[in-house]
A and B are shown apart, each in its own frame.
Chain A
Amino acid sequence: MRKPASLFLFFVLLTCTLDAGSRQSSKQAIDRYGAEYVQQLTDEVNAQMDARQVNVALIARCGRLRADLPEGVDFTHVGIAVFEAVVREDGKVGYTYSVYNLYQGVDGDMGKSHLVQDFTFDLCSGAVEPEIAVIVPSDALQKRILEVIRSPAYAALHNPKYNLIANPFNDQFDNCVTHTLKILVAAIYNTDDQERIYEDINSYFKPEEINLSVAERIGVNFMSGVSDDDQSSRHVKTATFGSLKRFLDEYKLTKDYFVVRVEPPKPASKK
Chain B
Amino acid sequence: MKAVSLLAFAAISLVLSTASAGEVKAASKAAVGQSAAALDAVAQTVMMSANASIEAGSAVAAIPVWMTAKVMDKMGQGSEQAGVWDAATGDPAQRPALDKEIVKPDIKPGSAAPKKDPSPADAMQ
Which residues of A are in contact with B by a Cβ distance under 8 Å? 9, 13-14, 17-19, 23-28, 30-37, 39, 43, 46-47, 50, 53, 55-56, 82-89, 92-98, 100-101, 103, 105, 108, 110, 114-119, 121-122, 125, 142-143, 146-155, 158, 186, 190, 192, 215, 218-219, 222-224, 264-270
Contact = CB atoms under 8 A, between A and B. Distances in A.
A27 B114 contact: no
Given A34-B113, A83-B87, A115 B32 contact: no
9 contacts: A19-B21, A83-B98, A86-B65, A93-B84, A108-B18, A116-B54, A121-B32, A122-B60, A148-B75
A121 B104 CA distance: 8
- Give the interface centre of B27, B66, B73 by most chain A CB atoms within 10 Å: B66
Contacts of B21: 19, 23, 25, 105
Interface residues of B, number: 77
B91 interface: no
A25 B116 contact: no
Given A84-B84, A150-B79, 20 more contacts: A25-B25, A26-B24, A27-B24, A35-B32, A36-B112, A82-B87, A85-B65, A85-B81, A86-B103, A95-B85, A95-B96, A98-B64, A118-B58, A121-B103, A121-B105, A125-B28, A148-B75, A149-B78, A266-B113, A270-B115
Interface string B20-41: 1110110110011000001001
A55 B116 contact: no
